[in-house]
């Protein structure tokens, strides 16, 4: 750890798993922390130097914080925030029956902060560490806190796993702080400076969404590994060996590859192999719901793109890219072909340019696929990008253009709908 840049006074509101670990670890980093909870048992445990529940390493940090006078706990909110610079909210946000988050505890704490702060003109940073859906922090400002200058709200999501929470805090894999008031964002990020980890400073809603993206991805990985293991087992193949080997590819598999919003996938491999996996699983009477939904998910993403294109006001639409991805002339199951089919069917005027497509050079299954979908594709293809740009009223980009093509597009001054970054 890096040496602390200075003590910050923090009130941690809520002493469950996240709050207790956060309070003890912040005290360990050199800050002066007061934990608040309505549960007298949790408060008494911390005051006595004990952990209110079992978590490896937590009891030692609580004892250390108490011994050095940097950690205390109380059932009363007002004295806890009286000298605080940051109120770090760690209350629960349980699921309601319909799946929505229950925000009653969060709203109650925010209202109590406002009541306790009456008569005090100082700024109190309200940092929400609880998991909340994007837009929640803005709602709290509008509904409960009111004065955004007096109570700047920051999102500081936690990434702590029960059973490993202390280590996850002190050796974070990700540190996120988001908000509109940049001075407040930087002040919350300063709490973690002794860890020597660069914080990702983002907008308020982005910080809230990152937490959901991480948890959804973790759940996705568990489900994927379980389905591949089940399918492997049904075929007499050791699933652990399959997944262990998959994880050795850190260029494409365990990497940032493919993890960017963009256009729908296509090509000769992914759709075909997903269909085969799902079909064979069915033959084995094995349900693989996650794998079964990948192609429908891709189809829905393509429909979202089509709706965006159909909303364009221009009569003449230029499309950059025809192959299923850049740097290839493979048209098999290209989502662009499906897009063109829809546009033509709706009577839109379309011209297409792809730097690697020459219709006279396409043959075999590649040729059969595109001609079956769009028999008159030759009439739509432009051999020069400049000709399409001069004709079009709006440009649709379906694959990343090379530098020279990108420069030509910029010079054209055409409005562009870039489907490669579709959100």
For 35, what's the count of Cα atoms within 13 Å in the CB-facing half-sphere?
Answer: 37
Long-range contacts, stretch 65-72, CB < 8 angstroms, 24+ apart: 65/23, 65/24, 65/27, 65/28, 65/33, 68/27, 70/27, 70/30, 70/31, 70/32, 70/33, 71/23, 71/24, 71/27, 71/33, 71/34, 71/35, 71/46, 72/33, 72/34, 72/35, 72/46, 72/47
The angle at the Cα of 270, spanning 353 to 318, to the nearest 5 degrees, equals 15
Q: In sequence order, which residues have a C-beta less than 8 Å from that of residue 7 and are 6 or more positions away? A: 30, 31, 32
- Residues assigned a catalytic role: 269
Beta-bridge mates of residue 416: 395
Alpha helices in 132-268 (DSSP H): 136-140, 165-170, 182-190, 204-234, 239-246
């Amino acid at each position: 750890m890096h040496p602390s840049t200075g003590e910050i006074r923090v009130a941690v509101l809520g002493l469950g798993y996240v709050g207790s670990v956060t309070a003890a670890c912040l005290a360990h980093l050199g800050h002066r922390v007061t934990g608040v909870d309505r549960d007298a048992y949790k408060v008494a445990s911390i005051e006595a130097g004990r952990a209110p529940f079992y978590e490896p390493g937590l009891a030692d940090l609580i004892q250390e914080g108490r011994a050095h006078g940097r950690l205390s706990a109380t059932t009363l909110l007002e004295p806890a925030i009286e000298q605080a610079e940051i109120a770090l909210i760690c209350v629960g946000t349980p699921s309601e029956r319909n799946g929505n988050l229950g925000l009653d505890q969060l709203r109650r704490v925010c209202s109590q902060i406002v009541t306790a702060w009456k008569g005090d003109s100082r700024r109190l940073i309200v940092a929400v560490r609880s998991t909340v859906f994007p837009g929640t922090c803005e709602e709290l400002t509008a509904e409960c806190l009111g004065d955004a200058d007096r109570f700047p709200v920051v999102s500081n999501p936690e990434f702590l796993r029960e059973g490993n929470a202390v280590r996850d805090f002190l050796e974070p894999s990700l540190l996120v702080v988001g908000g509109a008031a940049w001075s407040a964002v930087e002040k919350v990020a300063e709490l973690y400076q002794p860890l020597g980890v660069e914080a990702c400073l983002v907008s308020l809603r982005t910080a809230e969404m990152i937490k959901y993206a991480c948890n959804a991805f973790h759940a996705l990985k568990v489900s994927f590994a379980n389905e591949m293991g089940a399918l492997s087992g049904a075929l007499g193949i050791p699933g652990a060996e399959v997944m262990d080997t998959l994880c050795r590819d850190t260029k494409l598999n365990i990497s940032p590859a493919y993890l960017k919003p963009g256009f729908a996938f296509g090509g000769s491999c992914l759709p075909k192999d997903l269909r085969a996996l799902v079909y064979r699983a069915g033959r084995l009477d094995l349900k693989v719901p996650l794998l079964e939904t990948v192609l429908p998910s891709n189809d829905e993403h393509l429909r979202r793109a089509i709706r965006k294109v159909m909303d364009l006001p221009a009569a003449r639409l230029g499309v950059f890219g025809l192959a299923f991805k850049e740097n290839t002339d493979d048209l098999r199951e290209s989502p662009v072909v499906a897009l063109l089919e829809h546009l033509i069917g709706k009577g839109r005027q379309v011209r297409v340019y792809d730097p690697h497509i020459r219709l006279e050079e396409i043959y075999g299954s590649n040729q059969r696929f595109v001609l079956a979908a769009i028999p008159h594709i030759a009439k739509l293809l432009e051999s020069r990008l400049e000709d399409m740009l001069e004709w079009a009223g709006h440009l649709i980009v379906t694959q990343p253009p090379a530098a020279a093509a990108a420069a030509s597009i910029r010079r054209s001054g055409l409005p562009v709908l870039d489907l490669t970054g579709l959100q």
